[in-house]
Structure formats: C-alpha cells, structure tokens
Structure 1
Amino acid sequence: MDTGMLDVPGARLHYEVRGSGPVLLVLLGGSTDPAMAAPLAGLLSDRYTVITYDRRGYSRSPLTEPFGDRPVERHADDALLLLEAAGPEPAHVFATHAGALIALDLLARHPERVRRLVAHEPPVYELLPDAERWRRMTEETLDLFAREGVGAAMRRMGEETGLSVPGPPAPGLPEWVRDMLTRMAANAEPNLRYELRGFSAFVPDAVALRGAPVVPAYGAQDQGTVFHRSTLAVAELLGTRAVELPGDHVGYLRDPGAFAEALHACLTP
C-alpha cells in the first residue's frame, strides 16, 4: 500500500493506494474512517487500483482554511482532484452513506471522470414522504450539539437512523482497529459542525444523472430502514432500479469477501 498527501484548496488530503488496474475510488460517509474499507480494498486490489482517503477535516486530512459552506460540493471537488492526480482515465467509484451524496454530485458535474458509480444507501432525506421528520431531526441534533456537545447530538441522530458512533476501543483489539476507532470518535465533531445540515438537504441533480452510469444499491439486511427507502427514492428519481448488495449499512466491512464480488459485478455488468 502506498500513502500520500494531496494539497487541495483549503485542506491536505491523506490518501492510500492499493493494487493495480483501473482506478476505483472509495468514498465513505458520516464520521467513518477509510480504514473501514481496508479489507474490501485489499480484496479488490488484484483487479483495481483502489484509492481511499480521509475527507477534508477528518482523521489525517487537516483543514488549512475554514471549511466554508456547500459541503457536498466541496468534497466532490476534492474527489475530482484525487481522480485527476490518479490519471486521465475515468474511474469506477464505490460510495456509501454520505459518500454517495458526494459521488452523485461528482458524477452530475463531471461525468467524464466517472466510468461507473455504485451509490450505496445514499441518505437523501428530502426525497422521502416523511422528509419533514428528517429536517426536524437535523435541527434537533444540531441544537443538541450547540447546547450539550457531540455525545448528545450523536445519540439523538442514532436514535432516528439506527446508527451510532462506536465507543472507546476495547482492550485486545488489533492496533489498526483501535487507531480507526479513535479517529472516528474525533470525526463526529466535524461531521456535525460542517456537514450535517448541508448533507441532509442535498437532492441529486436528476436531469444530469438520468441515463448516467449510476447503480443505486442497498444492503439485503436493511430492507425497511431509512437507508433502504432513500435508496429506492433515488432510483425512482433517476429512472433506474436499485440493486441489492450483501449485508447491512456496513456490509463492506462485516463480510468484505461477499461484498467485493457483488460490487465487482455491479461495476462490470
């Protein structure tokens, strides 16, 4: 595995490169750390040049100026610069959760850079019939963040979405897992401060994305969840069908072998 830093406007991005072949950019979301995708990247590295990275303001990618507004677009611009640094050919993209919002914006504005996008469980709350509930959750979460801090805010969001930030690393875990969990705990703060409101209001550009090489996907174990419903809503908006991938919201980590094979099939139909 090779690592490096890429200077972009307002930040320095830590990235990791594994394998050889066509480029596959991996975009995770929320307060997650790209080390969560390391097992998947390792399994795909015999078929792809897999690039993972820390989003600006997260883990090992420090800001060099204030984050600013329009977080989806800022992150998509960063992803574009990573792809340009990787070479001139269009890349495959696997993106999950909020990373899928970033990737949808990247594809809409720069279609020449994306060969195929698998958008896994994008949380596009505005497309849901109960969108008002999710707007209210966002404002309540941010109010709690301002009044009581990160812990209370993340608990509120977890109550609604079913996701929660893991606690302190337990003794006996492998070192790379302990390091990842430590970084993830710190990432909750920039997730709330810079991203939550803008991400929660995001709606993909249906005009730009209809007919584009995008595969909305959901976890087989997530049927009925907000992420499953949102994926179906995105597929309907884009006039396409959602596909099922193994596992749940983090199926790529729980069973990376099965997920890698299913993802490869989506990327090379």
Structure 2
Amino acid sequence: MASTLTHAIVHNEGCDLHYWHQGSGPLITFVPGGNGHGLQFFPVMAALSDRFTVATFDRRQMSASQVAPNMNKRLSPPQQARDIRAVITALNFDTSIIFGSSSGGMFALQFAHDFPGMVEHVIAHEAPTITLLPDASDIFEWFLHLMEVYDTRGLEQAAAEFRERLKGYDDEGVPAVAAPDPRNKKVFWADEFPVLLGWVPNLWRLLENKTSVGVMRGVRTGDAFFARTVDEQAMILRCPKMLVPGHHQGFEVETDAFVPYLLDMLDLLEKRKAGVKGDN
C-alpha cells in the first residue's frame, strides 16, 4: 500500500515537513491529530487515490518532521495551519479539501479560518473543542488534572488515564491502529496538550464566511467528550453532521466501511455549496 506513495519534504518555518501523496484529481489533504503521523491515513488514501489526489504529512515535531535538537516549541494552531498551506502549495494546488481528525480537525478548522480562499471543503472528524460542551467545566478540570498527573507522576500515568476515555479501540474484531513514533507522545503531552485543553477555532467566523464544513463522529465512540463536541460544532456552524463507522481512528482500521460515508459527505457538501452559490 505505501509503495504507491510519493514521499517529499517541504521546509516551513524551521521544520522539514515530510509529506506523502498519490493519485490524481482534486486534492484531499489529511491532517493528523495528537498522534502526529500521516501513516494512519495511508489506507484511506489508497482507497481514494483512483479519483482524488490524496496527501498527508507528519506534523511538525512529530515522527519524521523533527526540528533541530532541543528546539521544540509549544503548539501554535495558526502555525499548524501554515504548515497545511505549505504542503498544499508544495503540491502545486491552490485549493484543497481538508480532512482532519481529533486535534487535526481543529487545525483543519483553523486553516479554513486563516486561509478561506484555499478551502474547497473541511471535514472535521471528532475535533475535541471541549469548551463548547455543556459539561465543559468538568472536562476542563479533568484536563487540568491530567496535566498535574503528567507533571507529578509522569507521561505513562497521564496517558493511561486519558486512554480510559478512548472508547471502541478494544471492541471485538477491531484491528489495532499503527503505533506512532515513540517521540510523539512526549511532544503531545509536553508541548501540545496544554494548548489544546482550552483552544477553539473561531467557528462563528467560518459560519460568517459560509465555509463549506461537515463534521463526523464515530459510532464506536459513543458519548466520549470528543464525539459530543461534534454536536456542538454542527449547531454553531449549521453544517451537516454524520455518524460514521469506527472509533476515533475508524478511518484507519475500518477503512472499507468508512470510505462510503466520506464520499457521501463530500457529495452532500458539493450539493450544499452549489445551493449556497445559487442563492447569491
């Protein structure tokens, strides 16, 4: 599967971003979340490469996209958006469909905010915008608790408590996801988690801009906080919401079941966008 991919590097703001692409047609850019690696999207990219140009990348400070030793910096969502722009531009495209999962969904929405002219559609899959939740206070304080655990008891204990909220990964018959580079976990907890616990893209500006957005939550995820945020996003954005197969990474391990839903969402967004244009 990976042998059909083309690997390349684009330098942006002090980081060599490693990216992979294949296929032809309109561009879909897949944005990783907290695990940081593009590898998780290789199966869905292979399934779509007969009709789209598909691309993904390792986010900065993650997997292959390392910065100089001891030069890691705290997560900047706007910088993540500029990294997405750098990959799209390196592929010689002016616009792209953006699919982002987990915090990658948040970065995809930030990209749409910062570079609206480069967006065809955005699909955010279980983007954990926790401050939008009705129980945001409880979730926020749990996140603060996890930071304290990380500081006092270490990464593995914090990660173990976080994993307890990840539903569906242990369901019978569901394959394991690909393991990310061991360095990624430390970057996530040290440099990304403290920013993600309270940051939300300006969804109201996306609504004002009439950005084409669809949101998804996985059927195996149940009532996990990062699934319930999808309902809040849909209400604010007044956009299509879809219940799709799989857990938080269902696109990776239940790809055959997931892809038809992704195509249906793209078809729905195309028709909706045409309708909006027709009203102007």
TM-score interval (norm. to shorter): 0.7 to 0.9
The count of corresponding residues between Structure 1 and Structure 2 is: 256
Supply the distance in 1 between the matched residues of 2:146 and 2:204 (Cα, whole angstroms): 32
Q: Deviations over 1:158-213 (max 9, x none)?
A: 2344488xxxxxxxx9xxx8xx5251x33110001111121121222133211210
Match of 2:46 in 1: 42
Question: How far has the Cα of 1:254 moved from its partner?
Answer: 2.1
Question: How far has the Cα of 1:248 moved from its partner?
Answer: 2.1
Supply the distance in 1 between the matched residues of 2:142 and 2:218 (Cα, whole angstroms): 23
Match of 1:228 in 2: 227
Match of 1:109 in 2: 114
Question: How far has the Cα of 1:69 moved from its partner?
Answer: 4.0
1:120 maps to a residue whose letter is: H
Q: Which structure 2 segments of 5+ residues have no match?
A: 170-174, 269-280
Q: Deviations over 1:23-57 (max 9, x none)?
A: 11001211253212111111111111111110000
2:32 counterpart (28, 32, 35): 28
Q: Tell whether 2:188 aligns with 1:191.
A: yes
Q: Deviations over 1:48-76 (max 9, x none)?
A: 11111100000100113834445212211
Mark the CA change 1:13 to 1:32 in structure 2 (over 3 Å): closer, same or farther: closer
Match of 1:133 in 2: 138
Match of 1:154 in 2: 159
Higher alpha-carbon deviation: 256-265 or 40-49: 256-265
Q: What does 1:6-17 align with in structure 2 at a 5 Å threshold? A: 6-17=10-21
Question: How far has the Cα of 1:10 moved from its partner?
Answer: 2.4
Match of 2:271 in 1: none
1:191 maps to a residue whose letter is: F
- What is the percent sequence identity of the aligned residues? 25
Q: What does 1:1-269 align with in structure 2 at a 5 Å threshold? A: 1-64=5-68, 66-69=71-74, 71-162=76-167, 180-181=178-179, 183=181, 185-210=182-207, 211-269=210-268
2:193 maps to a residue whose letter is: L
Supply the distance in 2 between the matched residues of 1:223 and 1:68 (Cα, whole angstroms): 34
Q: Is the 8 A contact 1:161 1:226 kept in 2?
A: no
Mark the CA change 1:53 to 1:67 in structure 2 (over 3 Å): closer, same or farther: same
Mark the CA change 1:87 to 1:236 in structure 2 (over 3 Å): closer, same or farther: same
Q: Is the 8 A contact 1:251 1:259 kept in 2?
A: yes
Q: Deviations over 1:215-251 (max 9, x none)?
A: 0111123232212210001111212241122222211
Supply the distance in 2 between the matched residues of 1:99 and 1:126 (Cα, whole angstroms): 17
Task: Name the Cα RMSD after superposition.
Answer: 2.2
Supply the distance in 2 between the matched residues of 1:35 and 1:225 (Cα, whole angstroms): 24
Supply the distance in 1 between the matched residues of 2:167 and 2:138 (Cα, whole angstroms): 15
Higher alpha-carbon deviation: 103-112 or 85-94: 85-94
The DSSP-based 3-state class of the residue aligned with 2:34 is coil
Please report the TM-score for the alignment, with normalisation by the length of structure 2: 0.85
